[in-house]
Amino acid sequence: MSTPSLARYAWLSIAAALLTITLKTWAWQLTGSVGLMSDALESVVNLAGALVALWMLTLAARPADDNHAFGHGKAEYFSSGFEGFLILAAAGGIAYAAVGRLLQPQPVEAIGVGALISGAASLINLGTGWVLLRAGKRHRSITLEADARHLFSDVWTSAAVIGGLGAVWLTGAWWLDPLLALLVAANILRTGYQLVRRSTAGLMDEAMPHHEQQAIEAVLARWRQRDIQFHALRTRQAGHRAFASMHVLVPGLWTVQRGHDLLERIEAELRQALPHLHVVTHLEPIEDPLSMADQALDREA
């Protein structure tokens, strides 16, 4: 499946957010629960995140051009980072409202109906999140994964709110409602921090995940057994694409054609192991001392 088709998952997220906002706002108005208010606010954040996800997925799908020779894949990190910041902002708003309600407790009404409506909205988020997470892992899209994890966080938020409403109904302790909202704020604060941290790592050209680096090393190990040496291996992640570069050391007496054929075979095996990988190789004579002097990122004069 091509990258442009990922936009349909963003549209699914947008539709789910609009529906859950409607349901949760209805539940909040019926009950007056600050917990349900915090739940509805998080769905508003979901909608904003889904809209940005649609934009960034569309941008990331653009092919490489003269100004973006490595493609536009990093656009996805802006989406997940933006969603992370939105979550942090929502956590602050929820905490502010909850503290005010703790200082001035108010009764919660129509608890049963409110909990039922909120539960229906949670099932929508659960199903949508499951679809997005599977698509995100299959297509290596951090945007879809971020959206999915946010929806799962929303599901846990709703479950906690519904449980808190049940406790309020059983005990009559109205202060449990804002206290629960504070716990919800703390939970989504953690989710937001994780998204921002992962997005920052991608924008800073963090290396590929350890298991993928091991897959590269497994291919190179087979060639080392044939007396082919490697150094200056570097990897980085850019959205759904990954990039690797390395120096390949062979006997200096080899012809250009023989060296070229070798590099083609190595690159083909690496792409077979990791289909999303873009490989750049550099051939060097193993006997030349200068071949050992250019392993750093910036070669010395």
What is the per-residue pLDDT across 60-74, written as a single tens digit (0 to 9) for each? 777 777 787 677 777
Q: In the beta sheet, which residues pair with residue 281?
A: 246
3-class secondary-structure state, position 60: helix
| Residues 130, 162: Cα–Cα separation, whole Å | 21
99-103, 111-115, 130-134: which has the minimum mean pLDDT?
99-103
Buried-state track 98-129, b at ≥16 Cβ within 10 A, e below 16: beebbeeeeebebbeebbebbeebbebbbebb
Alpha helices in 32-175 (DSSP H): 34-60, 75-103, 111-139, 142-171
| Residues 185, 161: Cα–Cα separation, whole Å | 11
- Give domain 3-203's CATH architecture: Up-down Bundle (1.20)
Lookup: tokens for 66: 């003269």
Give the residue-averaged pLDDT of 75-98: 74
- Give domain 210-292's CATH architecture: 2-Layer Sandwich (3.30)
What is the pLDDT at residue 1? 38
Q: What is the DSSP secondary structure assignment for residue 209, as one 8-state letter?
A: P
What is the pLDDT at residue 2? 41
What is the pLDDT at residue 63? 77
With CA atoms as reference, report the closest residue to 222 among 230, 213, 211.
Answer: 230
Q: Regarding predicted confidence, which is higher, 222 or 44?
A: 222
Q: Regarding predicted confidence, which is higher, 191 or 25?
A: 25
pLDDT at 178 over 80: no
Give the residue-averaged pLDDT of 257-280: 94
pLDDT at 221 over 60: yes
* Distance from chain centroid for Cα 48: 16
Give the residue-averaged pLDDT of 273-277: 90
* Distance from chain centroid for Cα 91: 19
Domains 3-203 and 210-292 share a fold: no
C-alpha distances in angstroms, 163 versus 98, 123, 176, 185, 260?
17, 15, 10, 16, 65
3-class secondary-structure state, position 73: coil
Backbone φ and ψ for 242, nearest 5 degrees, come out as -130, 150
With CA atoms as reference, report the closest residue to 191 among 151, 134, 239, 237.
Answer: 151
pLDDT at 241 over 70: yes
Lookup: tokens for 127: 């199903």
CB under 8 A, 24+ apart: contacts of 205-209? 205/236, 205/237, 205/238, 206/236, 206/237, 207/234, 207/235, 207/236, 207/237, 208/235, 208/236, 208/237, 208/242, 208/244, 209/237
Q: Is residue 97 within 8 Å of 106, Cβ to Cβ? A: no
pTM above threshold 0.85? no
Domains of the chain, by residue range, sit at 3-203, 210-292
Q: Is residue 156 within 8 Å of 187, Cβ to Cβ? A: yes
On average, the pLDDT of the chain sits at: 82
Give the residue-averaged pLDDT of 192-220: 83
